[in-house]
Amino acid sequence: MRNSRIIAGRETELLCGLNQRMTALPFKMRFVAVLAAMFFGYRAEAQVIVASTSTFSYTYAPRSALALDTNAINAGVSYNHEPPSFLNCSYISPSASAPSTGSITYTFQAAPGLVIRHLGVLQRGVLFASGRITGEFSTNGGTTFQAFFDTPPFVNPATSVTRYANLRNLNAPTVLIRYTLNLTNGHTYNIQFCRDCDDAPLTLTFNGTTVSQTIPSMTTVLVPAGSTWKYRDNGQNLGTIWRTPLFEDRGWSSGAAEFGYGDDDEATRIYSGPDPNNKFITTYFRHAFVVTNASLFTNLTVGFLRDDGGVIYLNGKEAFRSQMPAGIIGSGTLAMQPPTFGIDESTFFEGQIDPSFLQEGTNTLAVEVHQATVDSSDVSFDLELLGQRKRLAPLLAIVRAGDCISLSWSDLETVLEEASDVSGPWQETIGNVAGAYFTCDQPGRKFYRLRQLP
């Protein structure tokens, strides 16, 4: 199977490939599930983050910066991998000791000094018998896992699954991804986890983005991916008035991103119109969010998942356009060619928005998403907006009680230091935890300060 087929996501072809492999294996298989990591290397440059400040450098981290595969731990299933032992060549099967269920956990570890910002995962599978596979993740070794993936109900004779998951703004040095298999038909079935090596070695992997560890403390998620939006999908030409903050959108529909149709990965299905050969070109979306201390934001970064193209307005001003022609955009304007395909279908294209567009209090995002052709099979839309802002000077509170003083502060990315003289030398206080320090019977005078951690 060639790369192009994988990227096109043609499930029938995938199914063929698996069936061929099934016949080559010596035991009975009626359930084959393949969970494949998002491929890297074909159009990976689409995920490159543009450096937005001179203070921080963003790096794109391919597989070499994220420890994969060798960190996989399996329980209740047997795990193995074939040379060259990358994730895309791994597979799991139910074991005799735990015949119907089992899990496999992958650990993603950012390189020293970096955190994993985003992780993209493509689950691709074929269920040949009744059973279920769920995927969850946790950050920094946490035991609370958050679900992000579930297979649809099994339907005879086979159910194909293709699901992208964009785990956004994890900002963690370590991310665990756990897949759990629950078979309802016994343990004689082989479970194939990820693609088999003889099919397309080296073309599939998780795809990740890492950033400097200092980023998270400076970054605020203003609009998370998967947010609720008002939307208008009736093919009407709304002109330009819908972009303005005061536009009355009470009559619009409401739903959660991802919006769209045609990919089977949307949370809210939108209407394409009555004629499949002449679909609506433009769909409109609006979302309001509240910002405090707007003037402190130095950068706004938008992630824009759009099939096939679109324009973003912030408080009535055009803020970002992606895959759209230059000039005036109307409801009949087609997105640029070629239509979105492959990894781009699940990519949040990043762009910078002028932070002066942000205002104190309620802000309004208005987005129009356009088809590239009137017979295009799919539309997708999701968006996230991140703000980087200056850090406010931390406050240090001091309360005196007799010979004792109690100091407290809320910025935990600082350390408390003390000195006998304001000119120093300063040294870190001993025994302060989680923003609190208590001390008694100190002779002479003392000065305290908070030093920001690098």
Q: Cβ 311 to Ca ion, closest distance in Å?
A: 16
Residue number, 347 or 388, with CB nearest to Ca ion: 347
Q: Cβ 281 to Ca ion, closest distance in Å?
A: 10
Residue number, 138 or 283, with CB nearest to Ca ion: 283
Residue number, 370 or 389, with CB nearest to Ca ion: 370
Residue number, 364 or 380, with CB nearest to Ca ion: 380
Q: Cβ 70 to Ca ion, closest distance in Å?
A: 32
Closest CA to 192 of 131, 136, 147: 131
Q: Cβ 339 to Ca ion, closest distance in Å?
A: 5
Cα–Cα separations (whole angstroms), residue 389 to 141, 171, 449: 28, 16, 23
Give the span between the Cα atoms of 16 and 292, in whole angstroms: 54
Closest CA to 436 of 404, 388, 393: 404
Residue number, 9 or 173, with CB nearest to Ca ion: 9
Q: Which two tokens stand for residue 432?
A: 């302060």
Closest CA to 317 of 243, 235, 261: 243
Residue number, 128 or 259, with CB nearest to Ca ion: 259
Burial of 153 (0-12, 13-18, 19+ CB in 10 A): exposed
Give the span between the Cα atoms of 130 and 415, in whole angstroms: 55
Residue number, 138 or 166, with CB nearest to Ca ion: 166
DSSP state of 98: B
Residue 187 region by backbone torsions, left for phi larger than 0, else alpha for psi between -120 and 50, else beta: alpha
Q: Cβ 321 to Ca ion, closest distance in Å?
A: 16
Residue 341: φ, ψ to 5°? -150, 170
Give the span between the Cα atoms of 64 and 46, in whole angstroms: 18
The HSE-up count of residue 169 (CA atoms within 13 Å, CB side) is 20
Q: Cβ 376 to Ca ion, closest distance in Å?
A: 3
Closest CA to 267 of 276, 259, 277, 278: 259
By the criterion CB under 5 A, which residues form the site for Ca ion?
Answer: 260, 263, 265, 307-308, 376, 378, 380
Burial of 201 (0-12, 13-18, 19+ CB in 10 A): middle
Q: Cβ 46 to Ca ion, closest distance in Å?
A: 15
Residue number, 263 or 350, with CB nearest to Ca ion: 263
Q: Cβ 381 to Ca ion, closest distance in Å?
A: 8
